[in-house]
Amino acid sequence: MKNVIKYGSKKIEYPQIGYSIMVPLHMPEGELRELFPVIPVFNDLKIAGMYIRELVGTGEVSEYFQGTLVAARLTLEREWPLKKEYWKNPELSYDPKQRKELMIKLFATPSFFRLLVTPSTGTDDWGGLAAAMPFSVGRDEDIEIFMQTSDWPVDPEAQSAALYRIEKVFGYDLETGEMTENQVIERRVVN
């Protein structure tokens, strides 16, 4: 028997406060090599820390990670109703490079953007909310175009996505839990 999708049948509880995370990777000399935006949105920095520890673990990037995240404190602004037609004909493939560049701009100049947070497809252990894409303030038509044309994975049974504004960007030390003023975004990324 075929699974029938019940579009818009699931109410998603978006937290009033959440966190979007970027992982800075540094060269051995300390110079910033790369900023890696993670997809999950967290409602607790300790959970974000556990996720990042698992992500960097003992993999190739572990030698470039210095233990401090760049965190953005998000505040729920409003929900964005999801429509059945958003799943009809995605024309554009999600571009991780474009998303990364926009996320860096979001973290560097947060007052100019809102972050679209979507319910993910499938199950996970980090809460199921994804930092989809930043959009310029007041450009709702761009969100509509993105939702209608992108193949970004969104739970089709969800009633809504959400728009968040960034209240503050800061460093977060995984070992101590200390929050520090963020300097990473201002520095140039080494190519």
Residue entry with tokens 């049948």: 9
Question: Is 51 part of a structural domain of the chain?
Answer: yes
Question: Is 121 part of a structural domain of the chain?
Answer: yes
How many structural domains comprise the chain? 1
Give the range among 56-65, 93-102, 160-169 with minimum mean pLDDT: 56-65
Quick one: pLDDT band at residue 135, thresholds 50, 70, 90? very high
Question: Is 9 part of a structural domain of the chain?
Answer: no
The pair of three-digit structure tokens given for residue 91, joined into one six-digit string: 């024309």
Q: What is the C-alpha separation between 24 and 36, in angstroms, rounded?
A: 6
Quick one: pLDDT band at residue 180, thresholds 50, 70, 90? confident
Q: What is the pTM of this model?
A: 0.87
Backbone angles phi, psi at 33, to 5 degrees: -100, -45
What residues contact residue 34 under an 8 Å CB cut-off, 6+ apart? 24, 25, 64, 189, 190
Residue 191 has pLDDT above 50, yes or no: no
CB 12 within 8 A of CB 158: yes
Residue 151 has pLDDT above 80, yes or no: yes
**What integer pLDDT is reported at residue 78 of this predicted model?**
96
- Of residues 37 and 188, more confidence is placed in 37
Q: What is the C-alpha separation between 32 and 160, in angstroms, rounded?
A: 37
Amino acid at 2: K
CB 42 within 8 A of CB 21: yes
Q: Count the Cβ atoms, other than its own, within 10 Å of residue 107.
A: 24
What residues contact residue 113 under an 8 Å CB cut-off, 6+ apart? 102, 105, 106, 134, 135, 136, 137, 166
Question: Is 191 part of a structural domain of the chain?
Answer: no
CB 127 within 8 A of CB 155: no
Question: Is 11 part of a structural domain of the chain?
Answer: no
SS3 190: coil
Give the range among 28-37, 41-50, 159-168, 170-179 with minimum mean pLDDT: 28-37
C-alpha 55 chain-centroid distance: 15
Highest-confidence range of 58-62, 95-99, 137-141, 152-156, by mean pLDDT? 137-141
Beta bridge partners of 100: none
Tell me which residue range forms the domain holding 98: 17-181
